[in-house]
Chains A and B, each alone.
Chain A
Amino acid sequence: MHPWPKPPGGPHYSVCHFCDTLHDATALPEGKAARCKCCGAVLYQNRPASLARANAFSISALILMVVVHSFPFLVMDAAGIRTSLNLASAAKALIHEGSPMLGIALAFFTIVTPLVLAGGLVYVCAPLLIGKKAPGAMIVAKWMNKTEPWNMIEVFLLGVLVSLLKLSKVADVHFGIGFWAFGALMLCMAAAVAGIDRDELWDRLEVAKR
């Protein structure tokens, strides 16, 4: 049993976000989740080795982002012309071909949001490993919370597969290193975000010294 440190004071409560039922926030053994007595929704969970995992996966995600932005996802040979695709080129193409709003939206959902999430997690969680709070860590954590629903890398990955099937009839298309790195990035992002529970992160931030 390794419960995370609770802030001083109390009693500590937890409220179900779905049905508003009030619970006592009791400590949990690692790997267990507390569920709402009324509706069964997950209240909070104690992730095993949470800080280490959140840090490891978000640092891996940041490294993979460099690879994703340096190598093409798809390479297409048609009519003697070779074109290639990465995240920035898809956003740029939309901006130049008459739909700047779509290009900005694509860049936001697939470049900005994952960067805010992974970068924010490292910024907040790395100092927490030694019990310290980075300057502005709470503001960063708030922004991570706001951007999380808009992270759409897995949707973009599905888009790449659909495009590949669309184009395979008219051209010779193959995967580049960027595609595999993007697949790994998707897994790392999911593992990083799921690595530490929201309540644990905030409790640790409240306990941590500046």
Chain B
Amino acid sequence: MSELFPKAATYGLAGCHTCGKVSPVALGHCPRCGSHLHLRKSNSIQRTVALMIAAATLYIPANLLPIMTVVELGDVTENTIVGGMITFWKSGAYPIAIVIFTASILIPLLKIVALTWLCLAATGKLHPSPSMLGRVYWFTELMGRWSMVDIFVVGILVALVQLGNYMTITPGPGALAFAGVVVITMFAAMSFEPRLLWDRLAMLDDTPSPSNPSDL
């Protein structure tokens, strides 16, 4: 397998994360753009796990605390993310309830599960198939930003609903916690090093590699 698909690291070559140029890692910095060169991101698993723990912890207040406070004719209502979704569902707005459920509850939870699963696979505790790894990694890389939708809704409602004594909306502490969850899980996905997964696979099947890149 390693014979069929030669890895850049075997030759001491690294692809630049910023500009894509392939250079010897011994140079230290990319000769084209100056970015730091490395074969693998350092402490990738530890960083990802630490960020995931922070995100999972923050996920609790994000759901328990109100994301916004509605004051209507003197009546104060505290809205949580789940509460807002249930209101939509009860009023029969099923598509929008499903959108909020997916963006605000499903994606963050799936992302935490997916990154935990990737970290387990990268440390050799799980042995999933490469195509499955690709799909899970793609999901963690691209889907996270959609969770920000509820935060933007809070911003929009706060800007529009300033109707004096009739009705006002103010942001709640849950919104900041939730935005924190989204940003931290995005950083967690960025700090994860997918090549570790392939290093694992290569270890299971280590045939010697050709020693010169010109043998490609």
Could you say which residues of chain A place their CB within 8 Å of the CB of B157? Answer: 163, 166-167
Q: Does A49 contact B (CB under 8 A)?
A: no
Q: Does A91 contact B (CB under 8 A)?
A: yes
Are A162 and B158 in contact (CB-based, < 8 A)?
A: no
CB of B3, distance to nearest CB on chain A (Å): 12
Are B33 and A142 in contact (CB-based, < 8 A)?
A: yes
Are B155 and A93 in contact (CB-based, < 8 A)?
A: yes
Are A11 and B160 in contact (CB-based, < 8 A)?
A: no
CB of A35, distance to nearest CB on chain B (Å): 12
Are A106 and B9 in contact (CB-based, < 8 A)?
A: no
Q: How large is the interface on B (under 10, 10 to 19, 20 to 34, 35 or more residues)?
A: 35 or more
Are B155 and A91 in contact (CB-based, < 8 A)?
A: yes
Known pairs A105-B179, A155-B145; A160 contacts B130 (CB<8 A): no
Are B162 and A93 in contact (CB-based, < 8 A)?
A: yes
Contact of B33 among A79, A152, A202 (CB under 8 A): A202
Q: Does B139 contact A (CB under 8 A)?
A: no
Are A198 and B20 in contact (CB-based, < 8 A)?
A: yes
Q: How large is the interface on A (under 10, 10 to 19, 20 to 34, 35 or more residues)?
A: 35 or more
Could you say which residues of chain B place their CB within 8 Å of the CB of A206? Answer: 21, 32
Q: Does B166 contact A (CB under 8 A)?
A: yes
Could you say which residues of chain A place their CB within 8 Å of the CB of B170? Answer: 97-98
Could you say which residues of chain A place their CB within 8 Å of the CB of B33? Answer: 138, 141-142, 202
Known pairs A17-B15, A19-B5; A85 contacts B179 (CB<8 A): no
Could you say which residues of chain B place their CB within 8 Å of the CB of A85? Answer: 156, 159-160
Give complex CA distance A94, B158 in Å.
7
Contact of A21 among B5, B34, B88 (CB under 8 A): B5
Are A20 and B155 in contact (CB-based, < 8 A)?
A: no
Contact of A156 among B100, B152, B198, B199 (CB under 8 A): B152
Are B153 and A163 in contact (CB-based, < 8 A)?
A: yes
Give complex CA distance A16, B137 in Å.
14
Known pairs A160-B156, A162-B153; A18 contacts B19 (CB<8 A): no
CB of A193, distance to nearest CB on chain B (Å): 14
Could you say which residues of chain A place their CB within 8 Å of the CB of B160? Answer: 74, 76, 83-85, 163, 167, 173
Are A83 and B153 in contact (CB-based, < 8 A)?
A: no
Q: Does A44 contact B (CB under 8 A)?
A: yes
Q: Please report which residues of chain A, range 126-144, place their CB below 8 angstroms from some CB of chain B when the two chains form the complex.
A: 138, 141-142
Q: Does A177 contact B (CB under 8 A)?
A: no
Known pairs A11-B214, A152-B145; A18 contacts B13 (CB<8 A): no
Q: Please report which residues of chain B, range 137-158, place their CB below 8 angstroms from some CB of chain A when the two chains form the complex.
A: 137, 145-146, 148-158
Closest to B169 in A: A97
Interface membership of chain A positions 178-210, coded 1 if the CB is closer than 8 angstroms to chain B and 0 otherwise: 000000000000000000001100100010000
Are B194 and A22 in contact (CB-based, < 8 A)?
A: no
Could you say which residues of chain A place their CB within 8 Å of the CB of B151? Answer: 102, 105-106, 159
Could you say which residues of chain B place their CB within 8 Å of the CB of A120? Answer: none
Q: Please report which residues of chain A, range 97-153, place their CB below 8 angstroms from some CB of chain B when the two chains form the complex.
A: 97-99, 101-103, 105-106, 109-110, 138, 141-142, 145, 149-150, 152
Are B100 and A162 in contact (CB-based, < 8 A)?
A: yes
Are B145 and A163 in contact (CB-based, < 8 A)?
A: no
Q: Does B181 contact A (CB under 8 A)?
A: no
Could you say which residues of chain B place their CB within 8 Å of the CB of A16? Answer: 15
Q: Please report which residues of chain A, range 22-58, place their CB below 8 angstroms from some CB of chain B when the two chains form the complex.
A: 22-25, 37-41, 44
Residue numbers of B with Cβ under 8 A of A are 4-11, 13-15, 17-22, 32-35, 88, 91, 93, 96, 99-100, 103, 130, 134, 137, 145-146, 148-164, 166-167, 170-171, 175-176, 179, 183, 186, 190, 194-195, 197-199, 213-214, 216
Closest 10 A-B residue pairs measured CB to CB? A15-B15, A159-B152, A93-B159, A38-B5, A13-B22, A79-B166, A202-B19, A99-B171, A90-B155, A163-B156
Given contacts A18-B195, A21-B7, A103-B155, 12 further A-B contacts (CB under 8 A): A19-B7, A22-B10, A81-B163, A90-B159, A97-B158, A102-B179, A109-B148, A145-B18, A145-B19, A155-B148, A163-B153, A206-B32
